[in-house]
């Protein structure tokens, strides 16, 4: 679930901040609102993020927070990626 590029991006950006705003995620990941919403729904259903809706002044806002299981899943995915990178870097290229 985490290895999908967009979901990995969501978890990574959420890891960088205590809370991340929906619009910021959408801009950073260059997604439509609908596409981002679907990915957030999958991550929320898995318990990897919490989605909180509220207001900043009069404007509705949606904030995303990484959960403890989300932090664990992100760390595990990063370790897997590091192993893959090491394999690529240590395997001689064919000519």
**Tens digit of pLDDT for each residue in 27-75?**
999 999 999 999 999 999 999 999 999 998 899 999 999 999 999 999 9
Backbone torsions φ then ψ of 67, nearest 5 degrees: -90, 170
What DSSP assignment string belongs to 27-71? HHHT--HHHHHHHHHHHHHTTSEEEEEEEETTEEEEEEEE-HHHH
How far apart (Å, rounded) are the C-alpha atoms in residues 49 and 10? 9
- Which among 30, 43, 38, 47 is positioned nearest to 1, based on CA atoms? 43
Question: Is a pLDDT exceeding 80 seen at residue 1?
Answer: no
């Amino acid at each position: 679930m985490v290895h999908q590029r967009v979901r990995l991006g969501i978890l990574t950006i959420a890891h960088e901040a205590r809370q991340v705003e929906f619009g910021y995620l959408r801009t950073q990941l260059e997604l439509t609102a609908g596409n981002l919403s679907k990915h957030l729904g999958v991550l929320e259903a898995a318990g990897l993020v919490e989605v909180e809706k509220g207001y900043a002044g009069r404007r509705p806002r949606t904030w995303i927070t990484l959960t403890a299981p989300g932090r664990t899943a992100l760390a595990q995915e990063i370790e897997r990626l590091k192993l893959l990178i090491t394999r690529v870097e240590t395997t001689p290229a064919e000519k």
